[in-house]
Structure 1
């Protein structure tokens, strides 16, 4: 714990990876008894699970440790279950956004569309891929619950954690719907973007995993306010950083093409700030291009320049700094165990780094 190279996320990753691999291996045998045709679907799931930063399991684990929970395999399993919820959300999100890639690989629905086409089956390959991906996402949601329930924690602990576990799953689905609504009605306000961000990302990524960890350790009521004061601003800062990277990030780092968020027409705070700050003619042109899946590299570059020149990028960076300061202040408490408080401080840096 005292190593200068200690990473609270990397610390969890080997355990999370091992538990996910073990769970999928056991479930694969059960599923293949239904039919060998399901093997490519499970391969697609394993490809999805191989990536990711394991942020949500890390916050769940450190929420547990912050509440005085001991080091035990059972909390690793319960925390790892959140990766199935993340896989469900990402698979469905890519279908909704019609994304081509995820984590540097073909998106799940694209991969399964290729399976259809290469097999010479009848019907539309794209529609098959989308349908199969939706079903795989549903399977991930079911396995999230199954892995949590079979974690090895006591029945009392699992019951105590269930409200936070269930609320987290409801909120991320509600946040996803709000995101769809705001895109459909072309909402361009910062407030609208922040509401989506709060439910689709901040609560689901940080606040609720922390609440879950505290609840499993029997200290939810005491620590929930502390974890909320820390988790919501950090979760918003995390998503703001992700939105900046979605426009300006290196594709080798992000795993998605440059400017992909602009092609998908995401109504982010970065976009809202641009439309609010840019000259009227520039804002109108920006709005006309936003959401065009065929945006050229030159148009993406023009949109990036407008984001920067309008002051929108700098405004988002200032917001990130303010939210980081709020999260840091929330940790100034003795209610959270010392080693976890140090890890949570490190997670602020990990979650908002300019490259992640």
Structure 2
């Protein structure tokens, strides 16, 4: 089964579910159409990593091919609605202007408020609309999972992981926000955020969920988690590097946006740990400044490189990726699943600045 075929099945299940929901939403009021349009445009992008890892966790644990298995595409695709919820809410919390190269959801509704000349503040309206759409995506993710077509026993096993996954990502989001407010986190503190906000949620739990849906035994589940956890950390560390040094045409966000948002990433923690007092003072004074211009971004990038923080982060990515590859090599899974997961390892970590 090719990655393209899996992606096509997951996309089809996702779009079919949203299309089935559409008439019920519009029956409430045709004024809800912009909400659905915003969701459609958000769902049109993305790498579908979480559904892909869920599907290959299913196959690794003995699940059938996606063309033969009833319901696995829909169960895996439900994770994309969970991701949409997380992205929408994350952009509100970070005051992000863009997502996947387009205006973030709250900015879309803020602009609509201004264009229509409605009463009250445009910004609170945009944020409120985005929070509600994110909540809708969260509710729909659970509904899509439940009506996926998998048998009740499979759903019962997978639901435990799905519930845990949602708890972990919400707690990770809070810890991320807390680190930004406290402003004095260590590398270990930043790694805790990485693990719960992204690493488990992006790779480890989707693999775990897929394996449980297939009825995989503890040996397979443990092996997939041993592979998924370090890969998830490497994935987020790569994302953090791209958030500072990435090409906007690739990331879908302005260059240095994580610096404007004041993200207390591992990269920033390494920088402050190794900086001179003067460098640390400059970083602290500019980090989280929404008006940070291109010159300010370049200044902070130079400090990050000069302190060796970028090199340290790259070394950490390589170390966690190597750990994931080693775990995958000895995992008691079918050759097809091992090959597909090896390809996903590259997709998750091999992006360069």
* 1:246-282 superposed Cα distances (whole Å, 9 cap, x missing partner): 0000000000000000000000000011111122211
Of 40, 46, 61, which aligns to 1:46? Answer: 40
Task: Number of aligned residue pairs: give it.
Answer: 350
8 Å CA contact 1:12–1:57 kept in 2: the answer is no
Matches within 5 A, 1:284-303: 284-303=281-300
Counterpart residue number, 1:34 = 28
1:22 aligns with 2:16: yes
Q: Which residue of 2 aligns with 1:277?
A: 274
Query: How do 1:1-356 and structure 2 match up within 5 A?
Result: 8=3, 10-71=4-65, 72-333=69-330, 335-355=332-352
In the TM superposition, residue 16 of structure 1 has moved relative to its aligned partner by: 1.6
How many angstroms apart in 2 are the aligned matches of 1:238 and 1:307? Answer: 20
**Cα distance in 2, alignment partners of residues 101 and 220 from structure 1:** 42
TM-score normalised by structure 1 residue count: 0.96
Q: Aligned equivalents of 2:276 and 2:217: distance in 1?
A: 48
Q: Deviations over 1:92-128 (max 9, x none)?
A: 0000000000000000000011122222211111100
Deviation string 1:15-61 (CA, Å, 9 cap, x unpaired) is 12211111111101111111111000111011111111000000000
Worse overlay, 126-135 or 326-335: 326-335
**Cα distance between partner residues in 2 of 1:287 and 1:84:** 36
For residues 187-220 of structure 1, the C-alpha deviation after alignment (integer angstroms, 9 at most, x for no partner) is 3310010000000001000010001000000015
Q: Distance in 2 between matches of 1:62 and 1:302?
A: 43
2:203·2:229 contact (CA, 8 Å) conserved in 1? yes
Contact kept, 8 Å, 2:223 with 2:331, in 1: the verdict is no
Could you tell me which runs of 5 or more consecutive residues in structure 1 were left unpaired when the two chains were aligned: none
Distance in 1 of aligned mates of 2:185 and 2:281 = 12
Q: Under a length normalisation based on structure 2, what TM-score does the superposition of the two structures give?
A: 0.97
* Superposed structure 1 runs of 4+ greater than 6 Å apart: none
Q: What CA distance in whole angstroms lies between the structure 1 residues aligned with 2:112 and 2:23?
A: 21
Query: Given the superposition, is the C-alpha separation of residues 28 and 302 from structure 1 closer, same or farther in structure 2, using an over 3 Å criterion?
Result: same
Q: Report if the CA contact (8 A) 1:211-1:220 is conserved.
A: no
Any unmatched runs of 5+ in structure 2?
none
Aligned CA-pair RMSD: 1.2
